[in-house]
């Protein structure tokens, strides 16, 4: 897989004339060279529905008079640049106005993306309609006629739909469209049928051609959906709504699936379709480095001007980042993650307590808060699902809402029997009926607390604060201490909940300072905390909550035979990952630091790259180490190795530094 890709959007209205008028093979090639690009996704069909090449399966854009797609492929291949080809699958505005009966509808018959046809915007197609055959013909035509290096299909996934095709199909099966379970089964079948049709259209003419279906998110726990792809492209524009927490959350899961992965960001200040918007070069340098640090290649989104010329400012910007990626590729290809901690994703677990429907917001907060806690503590972690092999991890984290099914209970019991430890918070650790613990965590379940907020008073001192009663805004739970369990912290309640006749001060009542029972316990399997602490951190960012969670993680890691693999002295916003290249017998430590700041109303950007002071590193390493050096500089680094620990100090650095350990 190429590691320096550009995703060249080209969504161009029929209201614009002279499409591609200024396209020049020479200028196109010069910009790719300026950007140090080795792969570029070019367009067959856009969201407006037009083809950018002569077509029998579609219609060429009315403002285009030549084969733009063919010219781009020829120009790129001439200089050794790959050309995956894009087709908008879920959107086709030209066809939407001709066949609105083929569009996705909600229960009130409303369309999605644009709510109607009286506002500007696109409308999404249902694949349980004749549209699927039209799309398959368009895809096959591109594969057969062009030397494409892959196919990228956009705006697809399992979709809720109540169009009349879906309603008629569910009734033909003897069911009722008001039956949510049967409708969900139909939607799953519709997407599987779409994927099979695309597989046939692509791989029947050209077996093995890369194929990716983009849904904007790789759903954790749905390996069946991931398997429809030959590789994964993780759309994650930090300023476009995904934020800087999303990519690590997605990448730490995707790398474990054993597929090639690209991290997709954009050159834009905010998001797709932003002509004239640019992020700071330092932001793109950091985002590209973050992809490498998570075992992924890089893809940067751009949008071609309707006249077909490539923008020099854009490719100079991309080139700054990709020059660094090019220099680092040797230490990034074929890398696998080294991790101490397995974070079982709440999204992947999809737990249902007592038959209730999962709370998607709570699930998202649990995962987001857990990743932020692990990143800020510079822990080595992977994100796993119910099928992941837990062998080799030292700690499994169950954030806030992971039910313990019989299958998961067996896996975790086996994990604990081999010396592994578990950290559970909130309702995690409970059996699916939500009435008792399925793990030995030193706690007995009592139920949800009637108070909110509540307070935690740990029996240990935090690094930055003296002992106190610390506020927890998230939902809390009442527990007792199980026989043989240890209490690591207590719960305290407020005087009362804030209400019409019982309120005090500006926000909530203080703790009544009475011990209301255990709040944090430890048992043979690990530690339990009786609050949704990870959701709390995602929403509030509380210092005491972070330091309590870090203290519990450190305690569990210290109980393992080899302890924590990596200890590193870094700022909280810094990121550390450890990748291993088995064939080269080397490990590569990635250190990154680029603190985002808020600009405008709600946009996080990276602009400055403050230097990081010399960084002390301690790495568990039992193999005799031959050399340690900085990459890509190849500067030798003095080190000491004794008692299974390697120690070195990384000189002052900024943005991204790789430390290579070769045995």
Helix (H, G, I), strand (E, B) or coil at 328: helix
Side-chain-side CA neighbours of 325 within 13 Å: the count stands at 32
Question: Mean pLDDT of all residues in the chain?
Answer: 96
For residue 479, pLDDT over 90 is answered with: yes
- Give yes or no for a contact between 485 and 443, defined as CB atoms under 8 angstroms apart: yes
Compute the average pLDDT of residues 398-405: 97
pLDDT digits (tens, 9 = 90+) for 515-550: 999 999 999 999 999 999 999 999 999 999 999 999
C-alpha–C-alpha distance, residues 656 and 644, integer Å:
26
C-alpha–C-alpha distance, residues 536 and 325, integer Å:
36
pLDDT digits (tens, 9 = 90+) for 409-459: 999 999 999 999 999 999 999 999 999 999 999 999 999 999 999 999 999
C-alpha–C-alpha distance, residues 235 and 228, integer Å:
17
Confidence of residue 382 (pLDDT cuts 50, 70, 90): very high
What kind and span of H or E run contains 366?
helix 360-376
Confidence of residue 562 (pLDDT cuts 50, 70, 90): confident
Note the pLDDT of residue 601: 79
pLDDT digits (tens, 9 = 90+) for 32-53: 999 999 999 999 999 999 999 9
C-alpha–C-alpha distance, residues 334 and 325, integer Å:
15
pLDDT digits (tens, 9 = 90+) for 107-134: 999 999 999 999 999 999 999 999 999 9
For residue 145, pLDDT over 90 is answered with: yes
Q: What single string gives the DSSP state of each residue in 590-657?
A: EEEE---EEETTTEEE------B--EEEEEE--SPP-EEEEETTTEE--EEEETTEEEEEE-SB-EEE
pLDDT digits (tens, 9 = 90+) for 495-522: 999 999 999 999 999 999 999 999 999 9
- Give yes or no for a contact between 4 and 300, defined as CB atoms under 8 angstroms apart: no
Where are the alpha helices (H) located in 54-106, listed in sequence order? 68-78, 93-98
Note the pLDDT of residue 358: 86
Sheet strands (E) in 167-308: 211-214, 232-235, 261-266, 297-303
pLDDT digits (tens, 9 = 90+) for 75-101: 999 999 999 999 999 999 999 999 999
Contacts of 642 (CB under 8 A, 6+ apart): none
C-alpha–C-alpha distance, residues 595 and 571, integer Å:
10
For residue 261, pLDDT over 90 is answered with: yes
SS (H, E, C) 559-578: CCCCCCCEEECCCCCCEEEE
Confidence of residue 469 (pLDDT cuts 50, 70, 90): very high
Phi, psi of 638 (to 5 degrees): -60, 145
On whether the pTM is more than 0.85, the answer is yes
Phi, psi of 444 (to 5 degrees): -115, 135
Structure tokens at 47: 């969201």
Compute the average pLDDT of residues 175-204: 97
Provide the CA 225 distance to its chain's centre, in angstroms: 15
pLDDT digits (tens, 9 = 90+) for 310-364: 999 999 999 999 999 999 999 999 999 999 999 999 999 999 898 888 899 999 9
Note the pLDDT of residue 598: 86
């Amino acid at each position: 897989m190429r590691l320096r890709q550009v995703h060249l959007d080209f969504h161009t209205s029929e209201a614009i004339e002279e499409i591609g008028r200024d396209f020049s093979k020479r200028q196109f090639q010069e910009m790719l060279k300026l950007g140090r690009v080795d792969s570029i996704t070019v367009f067959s069909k856009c969201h407006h529905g037009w083809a950018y090449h002569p077509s029998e399966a579609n219609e060429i854009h009315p403002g285009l008079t030549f084969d733009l797609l063919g010219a781009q492929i020829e120009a790129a291949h001439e200089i050794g640049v790959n050309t995956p080809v894009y087709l908008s699958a879920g959107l086709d505005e030209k066809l939407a106005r001709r066949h609105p009966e083929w569009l996705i509808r909600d229960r009130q018959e409303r369309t999605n993306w644009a709510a109607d046809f009286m506002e500007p915007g696109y409308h999404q197609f249902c694949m349980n309609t004749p549209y699927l055959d039209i799309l398959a013909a368009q895809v096959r035509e591109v594969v057969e006629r062009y030397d494409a290096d892959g196919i990228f299909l956009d705006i697809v996934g399992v979709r809720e739909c109540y169009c009349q095709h879906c309603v008629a199909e569910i009734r033909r099966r003897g069911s009722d469209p008001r039956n949510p379970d049967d409708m969900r089964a139909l939607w799953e079948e519709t997407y599987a049928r779409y994927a099979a049709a695309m597989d046939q259209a692509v791989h029947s003419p050209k077996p093995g051609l890369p194929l990716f279906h983009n849904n904007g998110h790789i759903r954790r726990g749905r390996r069946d959906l991931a398997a429809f792809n030959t590789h994964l492209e993780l759309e994650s524009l930090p300023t476009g709504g995904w934020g800087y927490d999303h990519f690590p959350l997605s990448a730490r899961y995707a790398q474990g699936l054993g597929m090639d992965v690209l991290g997709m960001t954009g050159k834009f200040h905010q998001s797709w379709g932003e002509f004239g918007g640019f992020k700071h070069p330092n932001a793109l340098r950091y985002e590209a480095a973050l992809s490498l640090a998570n075992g992924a290649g890089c893809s940067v989104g751009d949008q071609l001007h309707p006249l077909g010329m490539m923008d020099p400012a854009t490719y100079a910007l991309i080139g700054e980042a990709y020059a660094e990626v090019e220099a680092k590729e040797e230490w990034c290809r074929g890398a696998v993650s080294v991790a101490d901690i397995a974070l079982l994703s709440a999204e992947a677990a999809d737990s249902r307590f007592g038959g209730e429907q999962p709370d998607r917001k709570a699930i998202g907060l649990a995962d987001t808060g857990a990743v932020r806690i692990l990143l800020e503590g510079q822990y080595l972690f992977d994100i796993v699902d119910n099928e992941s092999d837990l062998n080799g991890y030292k700690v499994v984290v169950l954030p806030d809402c992971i039910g313990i099914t019989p299958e998961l209970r067996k896996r975790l019991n086996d994990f604990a029997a081999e010396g592994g430890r578990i950290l559970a918070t909130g309702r995690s650790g409970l059996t699916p009926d939500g009435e008792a613990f399925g793990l030995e965590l030193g706690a007995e379940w009592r139920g949800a607390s009637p108070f909110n907020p509540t307070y935690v008073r740990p029996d240990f001192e935090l690094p930055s604060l003296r002992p106190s009663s610390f506020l927890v805004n998230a939902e809390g739970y009442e527990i007792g201490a199980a026989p043989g369990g240890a209490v690591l912290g207590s719960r305290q309640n407020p005087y009362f909940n804030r209400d019409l006749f019982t309120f005090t001060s500006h926000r909530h009542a203080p703790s009544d300072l009475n011990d209301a029972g255990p709040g944090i316990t430890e048992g043979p399997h690990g530690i339990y905390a009786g609050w949704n602490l990870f959701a709390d951190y995602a929403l509030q960012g509380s210092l005491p909550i972070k330091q309590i969670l870090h203290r519990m993680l450190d305690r569990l890691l210290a109980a393992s035979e080899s302890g924590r693999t990596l200890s590193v002295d870094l700022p909280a916003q810094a990121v550390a990952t450890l990748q291993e290249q088995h064939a080269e017998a080397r490990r590569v430590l990635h250190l990154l630091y680029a603190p985002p700041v808020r600009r405008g109303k709600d946009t996080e950007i990276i602009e400055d790259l403050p230097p990081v002071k010399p960084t002390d590193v301690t790495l568990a390493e039992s193999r005799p180490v031959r050399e340690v050096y900085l990459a890509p500089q190849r500067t030798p680094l003095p080190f000491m190795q004794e008692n299974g620990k390697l120690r070195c100090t990384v000189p002052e650095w900024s943005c991204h530094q790789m430390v290579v350990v070769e045995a």
